[in-house]
Amino acid sequence: MHMITTDEAFREAVAGELTVAVFKTTWCGDCHFIDPFMPDVEQAYAGRIKFVQIDRDDLPDLCSELNILGIPSFIAFKNGQELVRFVSKLRKTRDEIEQFLDRAVSVASALPQA
C-alpha cells in the first residue's frame, strides 16, 4: 500500500481512478489487526481499486478536513470526490472491509464516465 505523506500527494492520489484511502496510526491496535490480511485484500482488488495509506498523526489538517475521527477509516474516492466511507468504532473484519470495497466498486461503476 502506497504511503501518503503530504496533502498534495493525497489530492493527486485520489484525483483519478477509484482509490481507497486507509487512515491509520502506528499506535492503533485495530489498525494493526488488519495488517496481516490487507495485502491479500489489495491483491484481490488489483486492477479495480488503488489503495493508499495515510497516518492520521502525520496529516492532522487533512484528517480534520475529511472528518476522520475513528481509525482505521476507509474512504473511497474517484475523480477527487468522496464516494463512500467505512467508519465504525468497532474492530473491522476482513469480510466487512471486502463488503465496503465491493460497494465502492459498485458506486464507482455507476458514475458517468469522465
Determine the residue type at 55.
Answer: D
The residues pairing with 41 across neighbouring beta strands, listed in sequence order, are: none
Active-site residue list: 28, 31
Which residue do the cell numbers 501518503 mark?
A: 4
CA distance 71 to 79: 24
Q: Phi/psi of residue 34, each to 5°?
A: -85, -15
